[in-house]
Amino acid sequence: MRYDQFTPYDLVLLLQGLGVSLALFVSTTLIGLVIGTLWAVIRFYRVPVLAQMVAFLAELLKNSPVLVQLFLVFFGLPAFLKINVTPTEAAVITLSGNSAAFIYVIAVSAIESVGRDQIEAARVFGLTRWQILRRVIAPQAAAFAIGPLTGLLVNQLQVTSLISVIGVMDLTKVGNILNLRTLKPFVVWTVVGALYYLAAKLVAHAGARFEKRLRAHTAWKGL
Amino acid sequence: MISIAGLRKSFGAAIVLNGIDLEIRQGEVVSVLGSSGSGKSTLIRCINGLEKIDAGKITVDNFDVSKPRELSEARKRSGTVFQLFNLYPHMTAVQNVALAPVEVLKVPRKQAEAEARELLRSVGLSERADAYPAQLSGGQRQRVGICRALAMKPSYLLLDEVTSALDPEMTAEVLSILANLAKGGTTMVFVTHEIEFARSISTRIAFLDKGQMIADLPTKEFFSDKGMALPRVAQFLSKMRKD
C-alpha cells in the first residue's frame, strides 16, 4: 500500500532536507576555510616538511572524486582503522577536506597576489610577521579571493547532494524518497532543483555583496 | 649615527657593493650619487635590513642591523621612503600613515590618526587624507610615503630615489617638502639623480661607482675643482647636466 499523492507534510520534509544540506554546507565551509587558509599560511612561510605534506594532501583531495573519498571515509575508516563513523560524520569529514583543498589553492594565489613591495615597506617600519599577515596581507588577499571563493562555494553546495548516497537525510535524499513514493519525478526533481537554485543564488548574492565591501579601495570614486 | 664599515654585498656573481665606508651623523644630509647600477639603492636596502650583507658592519645608533634582535631597534630609528611609494593599497592615506605607529609603537589609534592627519596637512594633503592610494596622483602618493616614514619619528630618513617615478612637476612638489625637512634639521640619506637639488640641500655628497665609494666630500668641495679632479665624477656631472 503506497500513498502516491503529495501532502502538505512533504513540504516540511523538503525544507528539513534543505536545512540539513545547508547546515552541512555551512559547517564544512567554515571548517574548510580554517584548514585551507592555515595550509596556505604554512605554504607562504615555507614551513619545512609541513608545507610539502600540505601540498601533497591537497593534490590528493583535489584530483579524486568526492564520491570516492566519501566511500573511503564511510566504509574505509571502519574497515581498516576500526573507527566507526556515522553518515553525518563521514559527510562532514569528506566535504570539509574537499573544500579545504580547493580553498587552499585559492588562498595561496590570493596571498601571492599581494605585492612584495608593500610587505617590504611593512617590514622596514618594524611590523612583525604576524602583524604583516593580519594587517597588510589578509585584507588584500581576502578581496582577491572572494570572487573565486564564491564560485567554489556555489559548486560545493551542489556537491553536498552526493552525501545522500550514504543515507544522510539531505535535500536530495528527501527528493529521492518522495520520488519513490509518488512516482512523479518531474515534479519532485523540479522542486528539489529549484530549492538548490535558490540556495545557490543566496550564496552568490552574499558573496557579491561581501566582495563589494572588501574591494572598496579599488572602487573608482573620482579625484 | 649611522655607521657603515667595510660593507660588501653581492647578488650571485655580481658584486654590487664592494667595501663601503660611510658615517652619517645627526643633522647631516648626505646625498648618494652615481649611475644606475652603481649600488645606491642596495646601500639603502642594506641600512634598513631588507638585504642581508655579506661582510662588514652597519650600525644605526650602535644597533647592528645584521643581528635580528637589534634590527628592530635599528628600524625604529630610521624611516624609509621608497622609489615606487610602496603604499598599502587597501588603506586610506591616514591609515597608511598611522599603521606602524599603532602596531609597532602602540600609540592609541585615535591619537595616531590625529597625528597622521596633522602630518598630511603639513604636506598639503588634508583634503586627500581619506583617499585610497589609487585615487591619488604620483606626487600625492609620495607625499603620503614621506608622512608614513615621518610618523615613526625616525632619527634618520632614508630616501631611495623618491622622485624617479614622478614627472617634473610632481618632483618639484615632493622636493620642496624634502627641502623643508632638511631645513628643519632632519637627518637624511638621499639616494638620487636630482643633482641640482642634492647640491642645494646636502651637507655632503657620496659618489658611488661600480660598488665602490670613490668620493665622500662636503657638497661645496664635491662641486668644485676637487670633485672635478676625479674623472668619473667629472664625466658623470657633465653627462647629467646635458640632459
A126/B contact by beta carbon, under 8 A: yes
Task: Name every chain A residue with its beta carbon within 8 A of the beta carbon of B75.
Answer: 123-126
Which residues have CB under 8 Å from B172's CB, separation 6+?
none
Mean pLDDT, chain A, integer? 91
Question: Residues A166-174: what's their mean pLDDT?
Answer: 92
Out of A120, A140, A220, closest to residue B90 by CB: A140
Nearest by CB: B86 against A118, A135, A220: A118
Name which of A20, A25, A17, A19 is nearest A157 in CA terms: A25
pLDDT of residue A220: 56
Instruction: Kindly report the pTM of this predicted structure.
Output: 0.84
Is the pLDDT at B16 greater than 60? The verdict is yes
Mutate to test the interface with A, among B42, B50, B103, B161 (most CBs of A within 10 A): B103
Between chain A and chain B, the number of residue pairs with CB atoms below 8 A apart is: 73
pLDDT surpassing 80 at residue A221? no
Span A13-45, pLDDT tens digits:
999 999 999 999 999 999 999 999 999 999 988
* Residues B110-145 pLDDT 10s: 999 999 999 999 999 999 999 999 999 989 999 999
Written as nine digits, the cell of B220 is 661645496
Q: Does A1 touch chain B (CB under 8 A)?
A: no
Mean pLDDT throughout B210-215? 90
Q: Which of B78, B86, B148 sits opposite A120 (nearest CB)?
A: B86
What CA–CA distance (Å, rounded) separates B32 from B208?
A: 7
Residues of B within 8 A of A221 (CB-CB) are: 131, 135
For the segment A177-193, the average pLDDT, to the nearest whole number, is 91
Q: Which of B43, B88, B25 is nearest to B213 (CA)?
A: B43
Cα–Cα nearest to B178, from B144, B219, B143: B143
Look at A125 and B104 and tell me if their CB atoms are within 8 Å.
yes
pLDDT for the residue numbered A62? 93
Q: How far is A113 from chain B (nearest CA, A)?
A: 12
pLDDT of the residue at A83: 86
* List of domains in chain A: 9-218 (1.10.3720.10)
Is-contact B214 B32, C-beta < 8 A? no
Q: Which residues of B touch A218 (CB under 8 A)?
A: 89, 132, 134
pLDDT digits (tens, 9 = 90+) for A95-108: 999 999 999 999 99
The pLDDT score that the predictor gives to residue B61 is 93
Q: Which of residues B239 and A92 earns the better pLDDT score?
A: A92
pLDDT (0 to 100) of residue B242 = 60
User: Which of B161-182 are b and which e, b meaning 16 or more Cβ less than 10 Å from the residue's Cβ?
Assistant: bbbebbeeebbebbbebbeebb
pLDDT at A124 over 90: yes
Mean pLDDT score, B90-102: 95
Q: Residue A222: is its pLDDT beyond 60?
A: no
Rounded to whole angstroms, how far apart are CA atoms B53 and A4?
A: 82
Of B86, B90, B103, the CB nearest to A217: B90
Cβ distance A127 to B75 less than 8 Å, yes or no, reads: no
Distance CA B18, CA B8 (A): 5
Using an 8 Å CB-CB cutoff, list chain B residues near A115.
Answer: 86, 89
The reply to whether residue A126 touches residue B104, judged by beta carbons under 8 angstroms, is yes
